[in-house]
Chains A and B, each alone.
Chain A
């Protein structure tokens, strides 16, 4: 058996580091998003793919979190890992989401951020630093999770 397989449930792992690289990707309508555009807000960068079952299971809870915290001080950026636009569009028509879906064609950002397992999430605080990482799926609308993220919001 492989040594080192994670033996505990996915959870918010506290970190304090700059993001691994700059983020600049287009969304499905062609608009460019940069992480720096969102300075002053908490940003949840979530790497996902339509073929990844845990990603699909987690999506509704990300949508609930976005709705709960509103867009003034919080945004989810859902980075799709190298899938054709037609497929993403079809997925979104069945599951509309209230946050930008960004296209990482060729998996460049995925590799730069050393993402090896999907879903993978990074919670960035208003000052632009990564404060939490998560490997695997999480219920983002669970009270304990919402509470920790809410503590990062500006004005807290």
Chain B
């Protein structure tokens, strides 16, 4: 795909070097620290009944110091594609619509982006970028997925008792979430999944993604702006952890949601308590103890840093899918689709059908 076809999306794009090699980015960073990836999502709706709609997320529409969009390009056989941004969270949405007559609706989206490992120096206050107050307000609000009252606030207050500043409070919440993910083998069953239920049942053993939502809910409930960041793993981990990377080109099921919180003087600080739990459960040989070196190392790293073998899509909640008959989606991290017969199951790539692949590029 030539570069011109490629640079289609509305995101502001950095200047690209005219010749081979890594592009020159404007923000005083050394080119060597950035990695460039291309992620391709291919969708082929198997049982189109009546008209078909497909919606796909794209990389963050605003560049950051850890991720920059290098453009999105798409082709849809027999359909029309529109690119829009969700008004509240500015999530980019590639929306394809196919008429009833199309027997095999197919959509292909290629996204290129650059990432750089992210780490905040927590020993140095006063260097963080200030955030727009409207954004901070947005990230303090309760949502359907993130209630911030009742047991959520009570728990957060208990966890942070005696802590003086937001950084210490957030760290206390992080450590508490990590500590309480070590599943008591005698605890039966799975948590239902919403954070109030998790806290009331004293059962954090539900789906992994809920742990980061729990962190965000607890932080917001005591006035610390925090948000989920929805994305997908795109490469293996350089730190030698099998459980924390995509270990092949096929990343169809490698979606992963992270979290960050905001502290005055530091700006946004990345965390990932869910991945500490993942190391505990899945890092070979599996079911590691809290004292295991591998766990301790990640536990320390994942407060304040993200390895960027991962693509961030958006921060969006309660997303209205343009042209949909079905309901809003709680978050937008997977391909979504709809036919005359109803909403397709995003968690069933074989039934839907879609594949997502990732490759690292040496140049754009």
Contact = CB atoms under 8 A, between A and B. Distances in A.
Interface of A: 1-10, 49, 51-55, 81, 84-87, 90, 107, 110, 115-120, 135-137
A10 to B, nearest CB: 5
A52 B190 contact: yes
Contacts of A136: 187-189
A29 B194 CA distance: 28
Contacts of A86: 342-345, 348, 351
Given A5-B187, A107-B192, A116-B192, A90 B351 contact: yes
B207 interface: yes
B180 A1 contact: yes
B143 interface: no
Contact of B202 (A3, A51, A107, A120): A3
A5 B190 contact: no
Contacts of B188: 6, 9-10, 54, 117, 135-137
Interface in B324-364: 342-345, 347-348, 351
Q: Helix, strand, loop or mixed for chain A's interface? A: loop
B179 interface: yes
A6 B189 CA distance: 11
20 contacts: A1-B180, A1-B182, A2-B180, A3-B202, A5-B202, A6-B186, A9-B186, A9-B188, A84-B344, A86-B342, A87-B348, A90-B351, A110-B192, A116-B192, A116-B203, A117-B190, A118-B189, A118-B191, A119-B189, A136-B188
Given A84-B343, A86-B351, A117-B201, A1 B184 contact: yes
What class of interface size applies to chain B in its complex with A? 20 to 34
Nearest to B197: A116
Interface in B200-226: 200-204, 207
A29 B28 CA distance: 61
Contact of A1 (B179, B197, B207, B342): B179
A2 B176 CA distance: 10
A39 to B, nearest CB: 28
Contacts of A53: 190
B347 A116 contact: no
A137 B344 contact: no
B265 to A, nearest CB: 33
A84 B192 contact: no
B180 A117 contact: no
Interface of B: 179-180, 182, 184, 186-192, 194, 197-198, 200-204, 207, 342-345, 347-348, 351
A107 B330 CA distance: 14
Nearest to B202: A2
B348 A117 contact: no
Given A86-B344, A116-B200, A6 B190 contact: no
Contacts of A117: 188-192, 197, 201, 203
Contacts of B200: 116
Contact of B186 (A5, A51, A119, A137): A5
Nearest to A118: B190
Contacts of A120: 189
Given A5-B203, A90-B351, A116-B200, A137 B179 contact: no
Contacts of A87: 345, 347-348
Most buried by A among B187, B192, B200, B348: B192
B129 to A, nearest CB: 37
A90 B203 CA distance: 28
Contacts of B184: 1-2, 5, 7
B190 to A, nearest CB: 4
B189 A54 contact: yes
Nearest to A105: B327
Contacts of A110: 192
A32 B259 CA distance: 41
Given A51-B207, A85-B342, A117-B201, A135 B348 contact: no
Contacts of A90: 345, 348, 351
B192 A7 contact: no
Contact of A55 (B186, B190, B345, B348): B190
A4 B202 contact: yes
Contact of A7 (B186, B207, B345, B351): B186
Nearest to B182: A1
CB-CB nearest 5 A-B residue pairs: A136-B188, A116-B201, A136-B189, A116-B197, A117-B189
Given A5-B203, A136-B187, 4 more contacts: A6-B186, A87-B347, A107-B194, A116-B197
